[in-house]
């Protein structure tokens, strides 16, 4: 049994932590709920217990075995204090992902990397996790030379505020009122915004560079050629991705499909004749990555296209972190 702390317990990912710890019957002795000062005193129910939310401080982690950080600035401020108190930190922010001293883990892809942690383990970006799970069976089967990915990311990736903004804009549109945007740079209702996070080197966004660099680190292939375009879409929950893969050796579509069907964490939905393929509607509130539209790319000898969908709050954040905690046990 472990003493577990959740930092950011009142947020979307923090609340998902509570649900997933219960669903997966994680062996919790004490559960300590931590958040910012404005959430102090709130009460949350877990496993029939009513728990009070406490302020996160540098002293909050005494007696804690595993600290789940939901993300945000708290990671930078408090993660090292948690480690100093004897806890192992599993962090959902971007603070430590590219630190060479910190393992970046997707349990279906590189579980062995847990062994060399030094107190902190990082949860990858949500879109990276979903893509990495889908790429793993292809990587094992035929190697990967190049990846071209375009994402279609739900507004919940921007937190509760993103969900509320889409809801409010749809309601305003139905009433013929002005649509106001504050979370996203433009109206998101009935629109697509081809920019997630800030622009960086080469006019790629931070989100796009995350997918490139994190995937290279997870697979231990620093020269894997990856290019990404990340797009915010008016979907409440669950990200989708269009992925083009060029393999190192020639394999057939049927070989890839067979490998996918046997892979951990993947559900194949791929029957064009019956109009069956993954969609956010199906993958929301589940832990698997759904794969379909698997087909040959006829423009290159060893190319394939696939379409994937996965719940970015669960597998893309909270579930992946709890799976890492299970590896620790």
> Residue range 77-101: average pLDDT?
97
Judge whether 145 and 219 are in contact, CB under 8 Å: no
Tens-digit pLDDT profile for residues 207-259: 999 999 999 999 999 999 999 999 999 999 999 999 999 999 999 999 999 99
Does the active-site annotation cover 126?
yes
pLDDT of 12 > 90? The answer is: no
Q: Which of 54, 58, 117, 126 is catalytic?
A: 126
Do 191 and 233 sit in the same domain of this protein? yes
Q: What is the rounded CA–CA span in Å between residue 86 and residue 95?
A: 20
Do 111 and 135 sit in the same domain of this protein? no
Do 223 and 285 sit in the same domain of this protein? yes
Residue 314: the pLDDT is 95
Q: What is the rounded CA–CA span in Å between residue 311 and residue 319?
A: 10
Q: For all residues of the chain together, what is the average pLDDT?
A: 97
Do 64 and 90 sit in the same domain of this protein? yes
Do 94 and 196 sit in the same domain of this protein? no
Q: What is the rounded CA–CA span in Å between residue 249 and residue 220?
A: 19
Edge-to-edge strand list for the sheet holding 144-153: 225-232, 144-153, 239-247, 303-310, 289-297, 266-268
Q: Which CATH number do you get for residue 201?
A: 3.30.360.10
Residue 122: the pLDDT is 98
Domain residue limits at 250: 128-312
The pLDDT > 90 percentage for the chain reads 97
Selection from 134, 80, 83, 79 nearest residue 106 by Cα: 134
Tens-digit pLDDT profile for residues 104-144: 999 999 999 999 999 999 999 999 999 999 999 999 999 99
Selection from 251, 224, 244 nearest residue 306 by Cα: 244
Q: Which of 54, 58, 117, 239 is catalytic?
A: 239
Do 281 and 189 sit in the same domain of this protein? yes
pLDDT of 89 > 90? The answer is: yes
Do 155 and 99 sit in the same domain of this protein? no
Q: Which CATH number do you get for residue 88?
A: 3.40.50.720
242: phi then psi, degrees, rounded to nearest 5: -100, 120
Euclidean distance between the first and the last CA atom of the chain, given in angstroms as a whole number:
9
Q: Got the DSSP string for 248-275?
A: SS---HHHHHHHHHHSTTEEE--BGGGT
Residue 74: the pLDDT is 94
Do 164 and 304 sit in the same domain of this protein? yes
Do 154 and 270 sit in the same domain of this protein? yes
**At 72, is the pLDDT very low, low, confident or very high (cuts 50, 70, 90)?**
confident
Do 138 and 273 sit in the same domain of this protein? yes
Of 67-76, 78-87, 287-296, which gets the smallest average pLDDT? 67-76
> Residue range 181-191: average pLDDT?
97
Do 30 and 14 sit in the same domain of this protein? yes
Do 281 and 206 sit in the same domain of this protein? yes
**At 268, is the pLDDT very low, low, confident or very high (cuts 50, 70, 90)?**
very high
Q: What domain count does the chain have?
A: 2
Tens-digit pLDDT profile for residues 289-301: 999 999 999 999 9
Parallel/antiparallel/unpaired status of strands 28-35 and 49-55: parallel
């Amino acid at each position: 049994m472990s003493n577990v702390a959740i930092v950011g317990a009142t947020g979307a990912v923090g609340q998902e932590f509570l649900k997933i710890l219960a669903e997966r019957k994680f062996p919790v002795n004490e559960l300590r709920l931590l958040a910012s000062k404005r959430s102090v005193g709130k009460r949350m129910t877990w496993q029939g217990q009513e728990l009070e939310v406490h302020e996160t401080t540098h002293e909050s982690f005494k007696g804690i075995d595993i600290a789940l950080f939901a993300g945000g600035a708290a990671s930078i401020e408090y993660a090292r204090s948690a480690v100093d108190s004897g806890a192992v930190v599993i962090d959902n922010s971007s603070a430590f992902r590219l630190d060479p001293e910190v393992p970046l883990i997707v349990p279906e892809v590189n579980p062995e990397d847990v062994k060399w942690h030094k107190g902190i383990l990082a949860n990858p970006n949500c879109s990276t996790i979903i893509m990495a799970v889908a790429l793993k069976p292809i990587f094992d089967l035929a190697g990967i030379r190049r990846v071209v990915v375009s994402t279609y990311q739900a507004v919940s990736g921007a937190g509760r505020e993103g969900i509320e903004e889409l809801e409010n804009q749809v309601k305003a549109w139905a009433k013929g009122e002005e649509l106001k945007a504050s979370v996203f740079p433009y109206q998101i209702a009935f629109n697509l915004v081809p920019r997630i996070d800030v622009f960086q080197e080469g006019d790629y966004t931070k989100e796009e560079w995350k997918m490139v660099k994190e995937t290279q680190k997870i697979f231990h292939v620093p020269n894997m050629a990856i290019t990404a375009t990340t797009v915010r879409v008016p979907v409440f929950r669950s990200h989708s991705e269009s992925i083009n893969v060029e393999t190192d050796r020639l394999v057939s579509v049927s070989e890839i499909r067979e490998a996918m069907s046997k892979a951990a964490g993947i559900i194949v939905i791929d029957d064009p004749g019956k109009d069956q393929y993954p969609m956010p509607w199906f993958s929301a509130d589940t832990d698997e990555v759904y794969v379909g539209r698997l087909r040959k790319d006829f423009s290159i000898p060893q190319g394939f296209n696939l379409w994937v969908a996965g719940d970015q709050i669960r597998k893309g954040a909270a579930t992946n972190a709890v799976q890492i905690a299970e590896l620790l046990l």
